[in-house]
Chains A and B, each alone.
Chain A
Amino acid sequence: MAVRIVTDSTADISQDQAGAAGITIVPLTVFFGNEAYLDGVDLDNAGFYQKLSTSKALPRTSQPSPAAFQEAYTRLIDEGADAILSIHLSAKLSGTYQSACTARDTLPDTVKKIPIEIIDSQSISVGMSWAILLAAREAREGLGLVEIKAHVLDQLPRTRILAMLDTLEYLKRGGRIGGARAMLGSMLSVKPIISVRDGEVVPVEQPRTRSKAYARIAQLVQEMGKVEHISLAESDDEVGQQLAQVIKTVYTGELPIYRLGAVLVTHAGPGTAAVAVVSAK
């Protein structure tokens, strides 16, 4: 029949879009105190903000269980999939990839009748979503697992995330700060620009103001030379529109805008906007 594509909720692909593209999303979990919500399922972006402003407890996040992955894989196998390609956020940022691997490796042989390939994207959010959508399209077109996987592995390293945060506080609190730790401790308020390299958060620059941060991101995009595609992710309309406007001065192609999910906002904080730039080959 076909190759089926699986990812997790940190790809920031909406339920609707996933449904249309034939992508299966396994959600991570967001906890407010003891209350658990499935990212993007029980909790949409608006609901998350509502919770964030009213809940006394700070949110925590958790990877999907191996059981959740087994359930998804089993369902796809039952539906007649020829193969599964499961693409996830960086294993250095979350246990999601490991959980998916465990799920595959512990599937009973009676169920696991098809090849299941799991990819650590070494990225997150829009840094992997374009490659996932591409994979889904190729799957619909009937391409085989080997070919699709090769395309994904070709695309991911050419994709670079540049994200502007309002503060490093959330990254620090969530323990996902990585190399951006170098920017902590600044006695001056900055709007840090970060990236993800080799699966880890890395610092890029420390502009003092939002407008400078947007301008620098646009400049960095320009310096990347020929661009194949850019996607944008935002925690809210305002920052997203502001960044989009500046990006459009240096890039005339299609610019899809994604909404950062609850897990991403828990770790990056409100006021985050990011672009994922795919360099042309």
Chain B
Amino acid sequence: MQEQTSYTPVRTQRPRRISVFDGQDLKKALLAGAASLEEHRETINDLNVFPVPDGDTGSNMSATMQAAMRDIVDSEDTAAGTIAARAARAALFGARGNSGLILSQILRGLAQGLDKKQTFSAPDLALALQEAQRFAYRAVLKPVEGTILTVVRETAEAAQVSAQRGDDLVALVQEVVMAARQAVAHTPDLLPALKEAGVVDAGGQGLSMILEGVWHYVRREMGTDGTGASPASMLHTMSPAPETSARKGRVTIDEEFGYEVVFLLRGEKLDVAKIRQAIIDMGGVSTVVAGDEKLLKVHTHTEQPGKVLDYGVSLGSLLDINIENLQEQSLTYAAASEAEHAAEQAQPATQQIATVAVVAGAGFEKVFRSIGVTAIVPGGQTMNPSVEELLTAVDAVGPHQVILLPNNSNVVLSARQVASLTSKTAYIVPTETMPQGIAALLGFNFEADFESNCKVMTEAAASIQTAEITTAVRTAQVSGVRVREGDYIGLVNGDLVIAGQDIEHVIQETLQRMHIERYEIVTLYFGEDVARQQAEETAKRIKGKYSHLEIEVVDGGQPHYAYILSAE
């Protein structure tokens, strides 16, 4: 095991019993858990089995947890159910990557279990953990053991056993932590890929680290740990939120202040990032700006709605302005959905179905736009968009029927959540690569209805092969292939097939493994670090070996991946 975490000793002394926690206890426990997770973020990232530069588990889980914590850190609410519900909701919107999404579902289950409870006891918590387990498994289409799922299940079982023995939260948390440690340690026995790589499961370890933090808090609360830190200082110990969240300006606010301002902005060459920053600079909090350069949706909380609206008018025309006094209302989505409905009517009815794609790389963005995508959510590899970013994009497009192309295996689960969160009809074509997304989009039938398009686009996505050439970010052994950090590696439909020092050799081997001779047309997307001429030469060499192929060379501009190649 690579993981060198220093555990808080569990068996040193037996503190006195605690029979109930309230909302503030829960808040502090979760904050401690989040701080622990953040502290171990990098070691969890290093547990990544795959040497590809993909969204890292530690970063994704921590970003998700911090999104949840920012929403509750200043709350004075003493109802446990309310705190849990707020954390769960914020986690869902902030969820990044599959691990973050599963974590958000664990919190959601917890909230479900604690629903309407002012305080909770050990049996309550045991039941809530059962719910957490149930929600976690339900989030995944094909649950795999030896992952975070196993860890949450075994902790839930331990909690139940503990609750049956006695009504003591200290004992329960202690036994839960023990169970989590054991479950994590056993993950390599359940998942051969982990064993081969010599690591434990990263997601499971992330959950375990949260529980360690909770345990740390419980111990401290018993006075056995001396300090008794305030929640503010606990938040302070967290590193700054990941860049993507920070840019979005999701700072903590008390929901009971100011105004919520929502509007659609129509204009030309709108700069999403710049507009978001400008609104944050004006004092807008919980600011979300999403859409494309022609139409975007702004959501912010501010004490001066006029200022934000004036700024909007300076950029284009405003549609569906909705201002709510936050003191007068509890946040609902009805307003937003109504705004969308009106926006739809305002738009020409030429296009009844919108497509939204997650895309990395300037070139790929151009390709997606050139074949008619309605809106793009930047991200994919390395930076997995949050559920909220996906949701906002889906909500911002005009049509009420939306097809979402996640284009990355680590974004598919988050995308699926969007379908249940949006008031629109959204369908997820589970594309795992950008070429699959392009194939799906090209398969879009202009004449067909939503259902037929969902089907035909899914089929189109499955009909093409994707190969990727990138550089290994860590030394590893995967599916029998030995990979050294810095090696070129070739992947076929996500499976690593070859590693080596010579990129040409890696490319040729990869093509051979994907049986390139069986296909007609190859599209070679070169990355941001590859010159067009280099790519053209690579194409020429491929053509030299497989003369029947039609090869198209396209500037993908993707980060990290020298080449992404599709064959059909």
Binding site for B on A (CB under 8 A): 179, 182-183, 185-190, 195, 197, 202-209, 211-212, 223
Contacts and interface: CB of A to CB of B under 8 A. Distances in A.
Interface in B340-380: 366-367, 370-372
B447 A188 contact: no
Max count, chain B CB within 10 A of own CB: residue among A185, A197, A205, A209: A205
Nearest to B523: A188
Contacts of A208: 439, 442, 521, 523, 568
Contacts of B521: 189, 208-209
A79 B6 CA distance: 105
B268 interface: no
B442 A205 contact: yes
- Can you list the 3 inter-chain pairs with the closest CB atoms, starting with the nearest? A187-B370, A203-B446, A206-B442
Contact of B445 (A185, A197, A204): A204
B443 interface: yes
Contacts of B456: 205
Given A209-B521, A211-B520, A188 B442 contact: yes
Task: Name A's interface SS.
Answer: mixed
B537 interface: no
Contacts of B18: none
Given A208-B521, A209-B521, A209-B568, A188 B446 contact: no
Contact of A207 (B438, B442, B447, B452): B442
B448 to A, nearest CB: 9
B140 interface: no
Nearest to A189: B552
B93 interface: no
A202 B445 CA distance: 11
Contacts of B367: 187-188
Contact of A202 (B370, B443, B446): B446
Given A208-B521, A209-B520, A187 B568 contact: no
Interface of B: 366-367, 370-372, 438-439, 442-447, 452, 456, 463, 520-521, 523, 550, 552, 554, 568
A206 B568 contact: no
Contacts of A182: 372, 446
Contacts of B447: 195, 197, 202, 204
A190 B456 CA distance: 17
11 contacts: A183-B372, A186-B370, A188-B371, A188-B442, A204-B447, A205-B442, A208-B523, A209-B520, A209-B521, A212-B463, A223-B452
Given A187-B554, A204-B446, A205-B444, 14 more contacts: A185-B370, A187-B370, A188-B367, A188-B370, A188-B438, A188-B442, A197-B447, A202-B447, A205-B446, A208-B442, A208-B568, A209-B550, A212-B568, A223-B452
B550 to A, nearest CB: 8
B1 to A, nearest CB: 46
Contacts of A188: 367, 370-371, 438, 442, 523, 552, 554
A49 B367 CA distance: 34
A183 B443 CA distance: 12
Contacts of B443: 205-207
B520 A206 contact: no
A46 B169 CA distance: 90
A205 B439 CA distance: 11
Max count, chain B CB within 10 A of own CB: residue among A179, A202, A206: A206
Contacts of A205: 442-446, 456
B398 to A, nearest CB: 15
Given A208-B521, A208-B568, A209-B568, A186 B371 contact: yes
Contacts of A195: 447
A206 B552 contact: no
